[in-house]
Amino acid sequence: MEPKRFSTKDLHTGRMVYFFFFSGFGILMTFLNVYYRSRGISGLQIGTLTAAFPLVGMIFAPLWGYLNDRLGNPKVILALATTGTLGSLVGMNAASSFVQLLGAVGVLGAFYSMLMPVVDVVNLKLLEGQRERYGEQRIWGSLGFIFTTLSTGWLFERFGLHTMFAVCGAAFLGMLVGVLRLPAGLRTERRGSSGGLRLLVTNPAWMIFTVGQFILSISSTGMNHFLGVYMRELGAGESLVGMAVGIGAVSELPVMRFSQFFLKRLGAPRMLLLACGAYALRFVLYSWMPSAEWALLVGLLNGLTFGMFWVSAVVYINTIAPPEYQTTAQSLVTSVVSLATVSGAPLSGWVFDHWGGSTLYGLYIVLALTAGGVLAWGVRRTGLGKTHSERTA
C-alpha cells in the first residue's frame, strides 16, 4: 500500500513550525545567558542554570520519544510540549530568586526537550522518504532564527532584557498555531518489539557517532551559551550580540539550500568530519578575538559548523534507525547533546570566571579536534563513512 501523499500546503505548514520554533530558540540561545548576567548571576551559576536545562531534558526526551513512538501521533505530542514551553517561559519571567529561576528552567527543559526531535521527524515524514530534501524544510528554521536574532537586540536594549520572555512566548504561540494546522493523517510508525532499538544502540556506527557527537557538543553548546557573555565582556551591547548570532545563521542558508547536493556528493558521515574541522577553525578565531566586532566575521563559519553538522546528523540517524524508532533515535541524539551540556557547562563557567573567554575557546579547539578524530576513526575502521545507498546496494 502506497504511503499517504502530503500536499504542498502540508510542507508549508511544516516550514511554518520550523520558522516559529527557531524564532523562539534564537532568542533563548542568544540572550538568555546575557539576561542571567544582567541580573548579577555569576559565571558558575550561569553554568548551573545552563546545565539544569539539558539535565532535565536528557531525562524527559527519551520518555517523550517513547510516548510518541507508542502513540504514533506526533501532532498531539508537539501541541502538549509547545503549551508546556509557553507556561515555563511565564514562570521564568516571574522568578525572583536563583532557586525559583532554576526550578522554572527545569520545567522548560522537560517540555522543550521534545520539540526539536519531533519537529525533525514530522518534517522528514512530510517529505515521505526524500531525506535529501530535509534542508529545504529546515532552512525555514534558519530564517526564523535570523529574523529574531537580528531584529530583537535593539528592542531589548530599549525596553530591557526581561521583555525577551514576551517576544519568545509570541514565537512559540505561532509555533502552536502551526502544529495545530499539521495534517490529521500525519502518523509515525508505532513501536513494536524492543529488538529494533537494541540493534540501533549496539550498532558500531551509532556508538561511534554518539561518542563523537558528545565530545563535539561540549564545545559547540558551550560556544552558544557563552559567546554573548564573552562579547559583553569585550564591550558589546545586545544589538551587536544579536547581530553576530544572526549573521551566523545567515551563513546556514546556502548549506541548508544545497544540502541535497552535499549529501549526495559527500555522504552524511563525511559532512560530519568537515563540520568538526570547521568548528576547530572557528574556535581558534574566537580565542584570538581582540574585540567583540570580530564575532561578526567569525560567525560566518556557522554554516559550515552547526548547519553542516545538524543536517548530516539528522539525516544520518534517520537513515540507520528502524522506522518505528526514528523519534526515539532523534530524542537520544538530543539526550547526548543534553548530557554534553550538563557535563561541560559548569566547567565552562568556571574556566570563564577564572581565565576568560580566550582560554575557554582554546579548550574547545582541543575538543573539536578530538571529536573529528573519533569520527575519522569510525569512517576508516567500521564503515561509518558508507552512504545509505552503499549500505543497501
Q: Give the pLDDT confidence score for residue 267 in this predicted structure.
A: 81
Conformational region of residue 160, where left means phi above 0, alpha means psi within -120 to 50, and beta covers everything else: left
Asked if 49 and 37 touch (Cβ cutoff 8 Å), the reply is no
Question: Rounded CA gap, 187 and 76, in Å?
Answer: 10
Neighbours of 53 (CB within 10 A): 25
Q: Give the pLDDT confidence score for residue 67 in this predicted structure.
A: 76
Helices within the chain (DSSP H only):
8-38, 43-71, 74-94, 98-112, 115-126, 134-151, 153-159, 164-180, 195-201, 204-233, 238-250, 252-257, 259-266, 268-287, 294-298, 308-320, 326-381, 388-392
Q: Say which residue the cell 510542507 belongs to.
A: 11
Q: Give the pLDDT confidence score for residue 166 in this predicted structure.
A: 92
Question: Rounded CA gap, 20 and 33, in Å?
Answer: 21
For helices 204-233 and 308-320, give the axis angle rounded to 10 degrees. Answer: 160
Q: Give the pLDDT confidence score for residue 372 in this predicted structure.
A: 92
- Residue 386 CB-density burial (10 A; 0-12 exposed, 13-18 middle, 19+ buried): middle
pLDDT tens string for the chain (393 positions)? 445 567 778 889 999 999 999 999 888 877 888 888 888 887 778 878 877 887 887 788 777 777 777 777 788 889 999 999 999 999 998 888 888 989 999 999 889 887 887 888 888 888 876 777 777 888 898 899 888 877 888 888 888 888 899 999 999 999 999 999 988 766 655 555 555 567 667 777 778 888 998 999 999 988 877 888 888 888 887 788 878 878 888 888 888 888 888 888 888 778 889 999 999 999 999 999 888 889 999 999 998 998 899 888 888 777 777 766 666 777 777 778 878 877 887 788 888 888 888 899 999 999 999 999 998 888 777 655 443 344 444
Question: Rounded CA gap, 374 and 152, in Å?
Answer: 39
Asked if 76 and 187 touch (Cβ cutoff 8 Å), the reply is no
Q: Which of 158, 73, 79, 167 is nearest to 115 (CA)?
A: 79
Q: Say which residue the cell 520545567 belongs to.
A: 107
Residue ranges of domains in the chain, CATH in brackets: 8-186+194-388 (1.20.1250.20)
